[in-house]
């Protein structure tokens, strides 16, 4: 049984719809990452799941209970906790900050003391127990906010961009803590991030939210290798995206007329289909001679840009009006004597191209 299930979840503010028709299920013990660009509706979704807001339409079921306007939310909300993007700490000690949710619940002093110690130990902040919370660094504040969320022993934890305001070192530390806490407490987690790599490190599954729509839901690797549509590919940073129409298809191999040429790829498409082709720079093989390889696609092009992104060299090719980004190692760039203006040959296997229908088929 899923811990969270939504159907057609929609939220509008002043007649602007910021979340549309979201269907998702979160299983017990699962960590679901919601990724998407700024303004996509990630925080709105997480606020709805935390029962802080009432949706414009659609339904939410949490802990097997359908939530509607008449539902008493407090008992459900007491089984969950939320760490906000910019957590606020009270102008008191670390101990008092973490103890507060237990005091609100009227828990006895000695139990509070034990649970605060336990929560601070989980986030490795026990040494800071008497510090004034306002004197903490950003990473430390985030850890105290995490302890304050965990102190009530929630079953469900919501994390809204937990490392958005942190430097890389604190990000690593907070990510490691989140991961160990999830395991130690066997928590079900929904977290938002704008970073697919962070989602990959922390989440079991990823949902990609763009312009209020959940466009893809799956394993991070699946999203990385096979974006469901152009909007997902653009968000995760696929650099070569071509649009075209399928002109021929035979036994899983199809030809697309795109950028004035015939490109071959594998997939289940038929003539007349409109498709987008996603090509990763690392899948393009560069040579300086026009040797025909077994690859199905060959392009001759002039190097228009070269940049060092250690340990690789990135190159931009102009292949008769078609711009392609490719990468080679620094050694290969030196061996091939790659310079701006040089004519090179790019080859690409049909299997290295991922194709998706031109329209995002949501759900
Ligand atoms: N209470 C509100 N009233 C009006 N508009 C709102 C409200 N809350 C959010 N919005 C709008 O809804 C859209 C989605 O906002 P949301 O904060 O959910 O996006 P997000 O994906 O979390 O963005 P970010 O990554 O920048 O935090 C934005 O255009 C925002 O301005």
Task: Give the ipTM.
Answer: 0.95
The pLDDT of residue 293 is 76
Residues contacting residue 250 through CB under 8 Å, at least 6 positions apart: none
The pLDDT of residue 195 is 86
Q: Which two tokens stand for residue 271?
A: 């003539």
The three-class DSSP label of residue 312 is strand
CA count, 13 A, side-chain hemisphere, 158: 23
The CB of 11 under 6 Å from ligand 1? The reply is no
The CB of 18 under 6 Å from ligand 1? The reply is yes
Rounded distance from Cα 122 to ligand 1 centre (Å): 32
Rounded distance from Cα 120 to ligand 1 centre (Å): 32
The pLDDT of residue 202 is 93
Supply the residue whose CA is at minimum distance from atom 1 of ligand 1.
Answer: 13
Residues contacting residue 68 through CB under 8 Å, at least 6 positions apart: 59
Using the structure block, give the residue that is written with the tokens 């590919």. 233
Rounded distance from Cα 210 to ligand 1 centre (Å): 12
Rounded distance from Cα 13 to ligand 1 centre (Å): 9
On the 0-12 / 13-18 / 19+ scale of CB atoms within 10 A, 132 is middle
For each of the chain's 363 residues, which pLDDT tens digit applies?
899 999 999 999 998 999 999 999 999 999 999 999 999 999 999 999 999 999 999 999 999 999 988 888 999 999 999 998 888 888 899 999 999 999 999 999 999 999 999 999 999 999 999 999 999 988 899 999 999 999 999 999 999 998 888 888 889 988 999 999 998 888 999 999 988 889 989 999 999 999 999 999 999 889 988 999 999 999 998 999 999 999 999 989 999 999 888 999 999 999 999 999 999 999 999 999 887 777 899 999 999 999 998 889 999 999 988 899 999 999 999 999 999 999 999 999 999 999 998 677 554
> How far does CA 260 lie from the centroid of its chain?
34
Question: Per-domain residue ranges for the chain?
Answer: 4-231, 238-357
CA distance 180 to 173: 11
Using the structure block, give the residue that is written with the tokens 């490795």. 124
- Out of 3.40.50.300, 3.40.50.10310, 3.30.830.10, 3.40.50.1010, select the CATH number for domain 4-231: 3.40.50.300
Rounded distance from Cα 43 to ligand 1 centre (Å): 7
Q: For a ligand 1 pocket test, name from 18, 20, 194 the mutation site with the most ligand atoms within 8 angstroms of its C-beta.
A: 18
CA distance 329 to 336: 11
Supply the residue whose CA is at minimum distance from atom 25 of ligand 1.
Answer: 38
The three-class DSSP label of residue 265 is strand
Rounded distance from Cα 289 to ligand 1 centre (Å): 52
Q: Which two tokens stand for residue 132?
A: 């004034």
Q: For a ligand 1 pocket test, name from 9, 12, 13, 53 the mutation site with the most ligand atoms within 8 angstroms of its C-beta.
A: 13
Complete DSSP assignment for 94-151: HHHHHHHHHHHTT--HHHHHHHHHHHHHHTT-GGGTTSBGGGS-HHHHHHHHHHHHHT
Supply the residue whose CA is at minimum distance from atom 27 of ligand 1.
Answer: 38
The CB of 212 under 6 Å from ligand 1? The reply is no
The CB of 194 under 6 Å from ligand 1? The reply is yes
Rounded distance from Cα 87 to ligand 1 centre (Å): 17
- CATH node for 238-357: 2.40.50.100
């Amino acid at each position: 049984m899923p811990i969270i299930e939504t159907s057609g979840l929609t939220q509008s503010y002043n007649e602007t719809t910021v979340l549309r028709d979201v269907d998702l299920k979160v299983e017990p013990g699962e960590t679901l990452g919601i990724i998407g660009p700024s303004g996509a509706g990630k925080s709105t979704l997480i606020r709805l799941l935390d029962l802080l807001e009432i949706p414009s339409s659609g339904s939410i079921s949490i802990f097997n209970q359908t939530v509607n306007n008449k539902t008493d939310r407090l008992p459900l909300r007491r089984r969950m906790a939320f760490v906000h993007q910019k957590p606020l700490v009270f102008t008191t000690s670390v101990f008092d900050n973490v103890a507060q949710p237990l005091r609100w619940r009227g828990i006895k002093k000695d139990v509070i003391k034990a649970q605060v110690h336990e929560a601070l130990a989980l986030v490795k902040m026990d040494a800071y127990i008497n510090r004034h919370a306002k004197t903490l660094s950003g990473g430390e504040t985030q850890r105290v906010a995490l302890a304050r969320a965990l102190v009530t022993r929630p079953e469900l934890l919501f994390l809204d961009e937990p490392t958005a305001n942190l430097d890389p070192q604190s990000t690593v530390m907070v990510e490691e803590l989140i991961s160990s806490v999830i395991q130690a407490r066997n928590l079900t987690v929904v977290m938002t991030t704008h970073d697919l790599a962070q989602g990959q490190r922390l989440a079991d599954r990823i949902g990609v939210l763009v312009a209020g729509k959940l466009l893809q839901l799956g394993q991070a690797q699946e999203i990385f290798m096979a974006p469901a549509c152009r909007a997902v590919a653009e968000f995760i940073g696929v650099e070569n995206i071509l649009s075209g129409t399928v002109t021929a298809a035979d036994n899983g191999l199809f030809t697309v007329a795109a950028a004035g040429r015939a490109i071959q790829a594998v997939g289940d498409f038929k003539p007349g289909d409109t498709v987008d082709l996603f090509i990763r720079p690392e899948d393009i093989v560069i040579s300086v001679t026009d040797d025909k390889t077994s690859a199905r696609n060959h392009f001759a092009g002039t190097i228009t840009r070269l940049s060092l992104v250690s340990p690789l060299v990135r190159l931009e090719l102009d292949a008769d009006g078609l711009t392609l980004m490719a990468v080679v190692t620094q050694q290969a760039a030196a061996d091939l004597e790659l310079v701006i203006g040089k004519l090179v040959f790019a080859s690409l296997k049909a299997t290295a191209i991922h194709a998706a229908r031109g329209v995002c088929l949501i759900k």
